[in-house]
Structures are given as structure tokens and as C-alpha cells.
Amino acid sequence: MPLPGRGLFVLTVFTGSFLLFLVQPMFARIALPALGGAPGVWTVAMLFYQAALLAGYVYAHLLTRRGGKWQPWVHFALFGAAALTLPIGMRDIGGYEAVGPTLWLLALLTVSIGPVFFLVAAQAPLMQSWFAAGERTHGQDPYFLYAASNAGSLAALAAYPLLIEPYFPVDVQRFGWSAGFLLLAALTFFASRGVHPEKRDALAAGAPIPRRRYVYWGALAAIPSGLMLSTTTFLTMDIVAVPLLWVIPLGLYLLSYIVAYAEGGAIFVRQARFIAPLLLLGVGSYAFLADGVLALLFAMAGLILLFYVALALHGELAATRPPPAQLTAYYLTISVGGMIGGLFPAVVAPSAFDWTYEYPILLIGAAALLPATPLLKWLAALWQGPRGRQAAWTLALVLLALSTVALGSSEGTPTWLRVGIGIGAVILIGMRLPFALAFTALLLSMGGWTTVVQSVTTGQRTRSFFGIYTVTTDRDQGVRRLEHGTTLHGLQSLEPGNRRTPLGYYSDTSGAGRVFAAAAADAKIGVVGLGVGSLSCYAKPAQDWTFYEIDPAIVRIARDESRFTYLSSCTPDARIVLGDARLSLARKDKPKYDLLAIDAFSSDAIPQHLMTIEAFQLYGQRLATDGVLMVHISNRFLNLEPVVSAITEELGWQARIMDDRPSEEGPSAGLTTRSIWVAMSPDASRIEALPEAQGWRPLERHNVSAWRDDFGSIVSVLRY
């Protein structure tokens, strides 16, 4: 049998990376229902993946340092041990209540896919090391295999949300991945043939690398990794936590690696070095101002910013890579940097900050590392020598001082001063630390100081695993609002006579308002999703109310009478059940409800596991014989009517939908908002009694399948 050559190594590396990045969105998708569909699931999962990747790189580094023919056999023995955990799947570990969502998810990932992920993670550096020591391939540059590795990763990220998740149930995905793992073991066996021990021993004896170079490599890897995760958090917080949106930032991140290490990639890296600092100033400077519609535009522009910053920094990584003798140490350092970069937004920031400060901090870090060149030659000459560097630092400090004007003004920094600070920052492009300081000044002048002051003095914001909540008071309109992400989550009038009046999505003209107001005097009522407790003020004295809420932070806000008084005024004795609503409703001791409302969306992100056929079957089990289920499907990005229509048809229930569009003029303008509610029941008479004159209509039928726990995609319901 011929000895392995270039093609077999490419196939082996590509296959390993494909499996590595296929299991990431796949298993996060499997685990998502257990944590209420929270955006934090992917962030924490990515932290685990980076830590496991680091462990795999450490193993590959130690294995290649030893030399000798026993290396493949150690690797194959571990392959066999890991194969005993197949097929991959979610293990029952318990302990969620004791340790909280972050540690529980990390433990779940470790037990469920840790062994196989560890082995596959080691493949890329190990195969490159074996390639450089192969009898047919010795002396060839192995770094092209890094591009093959990232190509496999990118292919998996594109394939999962577009070709695999929409068409294959989770069980098929699990067994298919497990078969791929066995194929990888076979490819690795054939690739190991002909690896020459003496050549491998020589490979292990490389010249030492200066410590500062390791630190530099780690920083270059950490910043793009952190930016990728913080960008993902924003997208999934405002739309939906699903693989389709997880993989866009990760795909751009990997694409930057592919371009940086590709033959001929240097020309694109040079372009990125020119474009990235301009994008930082033109896009990144709005990090504190992104709100409302601007937030979505900023998120889209932020993806472009992520790619060019990552390409510039990864290009510097590629340009400073060592000879093959230090290959595994180099990749190990990159992995350490990537994990540190992921640790910051996934664990440190949610505990330390009440706002997404990690994003502008990472942007400042990028500004400090960008290997940019001045825009004009005369600027390059201006900063040369000790006096030039001193002048650059002086200008940067002056700009930072000017940004503090916002602290003494109720209207913030004047526009002319922002423009001046921006021009000063442009002049400093190419001077890394002074440019980073000038960029910091621009960030602070454009809403940064205001945001920091709010965090320090007002206590308006609350951050949890499930999101960032902001309570604001509008004295002019006489209302207090709760916002989650960029979406209004609830509001209440400050006028004493109107404090019990439900507003927003829950006004008396909304679908929910009409059905709750008509509920029987002794009805048992359940509400999934507490919000600020608006619906509670439809309660009647003899009714029995239960709220289901996954986030303790929301419960604290709703019960805080200095913020909102719906609960304390209208249903002070209502039960509040903490935890994922679907798991709570599945317990046998739960009552039958005459009216059950599903309103658990946070921002515009939906917990998809609450919108599957299995979830609705559970809701049906918790309804009285003539009970009514209300489902809130208002969403800027997803048209959920086809999904609910398909579910009701499959269940054989009757349903009506109301799209309430309050007038934007008059005294109630801004107090009531558009809402889309679906009323459904197994008792047709209850639904047929809803008057068409109020705006109720049958659901439209679409060519969309009902979502299932192991099968569902948002592609067909995206609003374009």
C-alpha cells in the first residue's frame, strides 16, 4: 500500500475539522431546550469548545514532543476509549438547581461530548506535525493544512443550519456524526503510516521562542475570539438562539483564518490593515449608541467589522508564524488566546458588568493590536523618533480629556467635538497604543460616558444569564418601561389612577386583553413568562393565578414595588414558579388551567423549544376540557403564524389570530403597542365564540411544517 501523501492528509484534516465544528451547533441545539432557549447557551458552549480545543492542542503538543513509533498507538487507544461514549447525546447529570446554568452546561458538555471532542480537537495540529515528519512529505511546509482545517470548519458551519438541521431529525444527526468519528479514526490510521521516527525526533528539537512572542500570539488570537462571541450574543439576544445565527459570526471568524493562511492571502491582509481601523472609527464608535432600529443596523455592520479586524489580526499571526519545528507550540498558544478571549465575554463580563461593556473593551483591544500603517506618508514621518511618539501620546491624552465634556453636559458631547476627536483618531492610525487611546475617547464621547454613569449611579440595568434588562422612567409621558435588548418588555403608567391598567402588548384591545378580561370569575390561569406582571391586572378575586418564569432577575424586577406594582396591586398571592416552563408544566402535580398564556419571548428572541408540537401537546395536557391557550407571536424578524397554524392543524384544534394595531395618535400613543396573539383550544366552541368584529380571524395556511423537538428551522419563517 502506498505511503500517505498530501491528499490523504488534506482529507483527514478536513474531515476532523468538519466533525469538530459540526458537533458544536448540533449539541448546543440539543441542549438549548434545557436552558429555556437562552442566548447565553451558545456563549457558554463556545467557552467549553475553546477549553476542550486547548486540551486537545496540549495533548497534541506533548505527544509530538516525545517522538517514537508509539505516538500513533497512543492516539488510536484514546480513539477507542472515546468511541465507547458513542453515539453522542445529552446525558442525564442533574444538579442544575445547585450550580446554576453556566456550570451545569459546562458539566453537561464535558460528560456528553468531552471525550470525542477532545480527540477530534487534537487532529489538526497532530496531522500537520505528522505531515512534516512523513517519509513522503518531510520538509514540506505543513501550514497549508491549517487552511484545509478552517475550510472543513466553515463547511460544517454552513452545512448544519442550511442542509442538516432543516432536513434531518436530531437522532439521525447524532448517529451520522458518530459514524463520521469512526471514519476519521480510519483516515488517521492510514495517515500515520510512513511517519518517520527520526524525522519526527528532529522536528521536536526546535529553537526556543521568546516569551513575549507567545504573549503577542495569544493576544492576537484572544481579541477576535472575544469579538466573535460578543457579536453572536447581540444577534441571538434580539432574534433567536438557533444555529443559523450562531454560525454567521463564527463562520466569518473562520473565514478570516482561511484567508490569512492561504497562499496569496497576504494581499487581502494588507487591505484589512487599511480598512479595519477605519471601520473601528466609523462603526465601532457607535457601540454605546446602538438602540432600536440602529441596533440591528449596527449588528449587521458589526459583522463586517468583525471580519476585517479578525483578518488583520489573524494575518499578523500568519506573518509571524514559526518554522514547523515549533508548530504545535504555536497552535497551542493560539488556542490559549482563543480560550481567554472566549472566557471574557462568556464568564467574566456577565458577572462583572451590567451592560455589554465587553464589546467596546474588545474593540479597544483590537485598536491597540492592529498592525495598521498611517493613511498618509507625511503622517508616518510625523510620528517617527522619540519626539514624534511623545507628540502622538500627547494628542491622544488631549482627545481623552476632551471626551469628558459629556460628563458636564445634559446633552452629551457636541457634534463638532465628536468630529474633532474622530479626526484626531484618524491622524493617529498606525500608532497602536495612542490610536487605541484616541478610539477610547471617541467611544466615550459617543454615549460611553452616559452609559458608564448610568451603571455607576442609577442601578437601572440588571444582567443575568438570560439577558440585559433596563428599567427607564419617562416623566414626560408618565410611564416606566422595561426593555430587554432592543425590545420593549413591559411598561406601566406612573399616574395613580392608571397604575392597574395593562399597557403595551397587553392593553384591553389586544387579543390577550380581550380573552383575559372575559375569563370566568373562578378560572385557574397560568402564564408562561412574567415580564413586569401586566396581565395580572385582569385578575378577578376568586381566580387562581400561577406565573412561570425562568429568570430570577425578572422576578426581582416585577416584585420591586419601587419599579413596577402590577403584581403587588393585582395578584399579591399569585404563585411564581422559577425554572424552564416546559419542565415545570411537565410535573404531574400541575393543575388543569382554564386559560394558559405562552408569552416567554425575551426581546425578539424566541425559546424555540416552547414552539414545538411536543410543547403544545404538553400545553394541551395542562388545559381543562374547554380551556383556551393564548400564544404571543409578535416578532420583528420571524413570522410565526405558519408554525402555529401547522401545529393546530396537526393537533386538530381550532384557532384564531388577532393582530392588534393601536392608533399612533391620541392620548394612548406610545402606551399601547402592536401585538399578535393566537387563541386556540381543543374545544371548537370556545374559539368560534371569538367575535370577528373584534379582529379575530382564522390562521392562514402555509407550506411550513410544524416544529418538533428534534426537527425545526427558522429559515422558512424569516421576515425578509
Give the tens place of pLDDT for each residue, 353-385. 888 899 999 999 999 999 877 777 777 777 788
The string of pLDDT tens digits covering residues 428-464 is 998 899 999 999 999 999 888 888 888 887 678 888 8
- DSSP H or E segment with residue 659: strand 654-660
Cβ-contact 668, 479 below 8 angstroms? no
Output the CA–CA distances (angstroms, integers) from residue 703 to 98, 279, 649, in the order listed.
Answer: 44, 42, 12
- The C-alpha torsion from 342 through 347 and 350 to 355, rounded to 10°, is -20
What grid cell was written down for 34? 434545557
Residues of the chain with CATH 1.20.1250.20: 6-369
What pLDDT, on the 0 to 100 scale, is given for residue 1?
A: 46
- The CA distances from residue 85 to 512, 599, 646, 671, 700, in Å, are 48, 38, 37, 55, 46
Residue 408: pLDDT above 70? Answer: no
- Tell me which of 3.40.50.150, 3.40.50.12780, 3.90.180.10, 3.40.640.10 is the CATH number of domain 468-717: 3.40.50.150
Low-confidence winner among 61-65, 258-262, 408-412, 709-713 (lowest mean pLDDT): 408-412
DSSP assignment of 407-462 equals GG-TT-S-HHHHHHHHHHHHHTTT-HHHHHHHHHHHHIIIIIHHHHHHHHHT--EE
Q: In what order do the strands lie in the sheet with 467-474?
A: 461-464, 467-474, 479-484, 487-493
151: pLDDT strictly greater than 80 = yes
Residue 104 has pLDDT above 60, yes or no: yes
Read off the pLDDT of each residue in 693-699 and give the average, rounded to a whole number. Answer: 89
pLDDT, tens digit, for every residue of 264-317? Answer: 888 999 999 999 999 999 999 888 876 555 566 777 788 999 999 999 999 999
Which cell goes with 199? 524525522
Q: Sign of the CA dihedral 424, 427, 430, 434?
A: negative
Write the CATH number of the domain with boundaries 6-369. Answer: 1.20.1250.20
pTM: 0.79
* C-alpha count within 13 angstroms, C-beta hemisphere, residue 479: 19
Residue 14 φ/ψ, nearest 5 degrees? -60, -45
Distance (Å) of CA 418 to CA 224, 282, 423, 438: 27, 12, 9, 11
CB 66 within 8 A of CB 205: no
Residue 204 pLDDT level (bands cut at 50, 70, 90): very low
**DSSP of 177-217:** HHHHHHHHHHHHHHHHTTB-HHHHHHHH-PPPPPHHHHHHH
pLDDT over 70 at 199, yes or no = no
Does residue 237 surpass a pLDDT of 80? Answer: no
CATH code 3.40.50.150 region(s) in the chain: 468-717
State the Cα–Cα distance between residues 303 and 196, nearest whole angstrom.
44
Identify the weakest region by mean pLDDT among 38-52, 378-392, 630-644: 38-52
> Is the pLDDT higher at 381 or at 23?
23
Q: What is the spatial distance between Cα 287 and Cα 308, in angstroms, rounded to a whole number?
A: 17
**pLDDT at residue 120 tops 90:** yes
Neighbours of 110 (CB within 10 A): 17
The secondary structure of residue 504, as a DSSP letter, is B
pLDDT the model gives residue 667: 60
| Average per-residue pLDDT for the chain | 84
Spatial CA neighbour of 518 closest among 321, 631, 686: 686
What is the mean predicted confidence (pLDDT) over 28-34? Answer: 68
Please state whether beta strands 575-578 and 544-549 pair in parallel, antiparallel, or not at all (unpaired).
parallel
Look up residue 498 and give its three cell numbers: 392608571
Tens digits of residue pLDDT in 510-542: 999 999 999 999 999 999 999 999 999 999 999
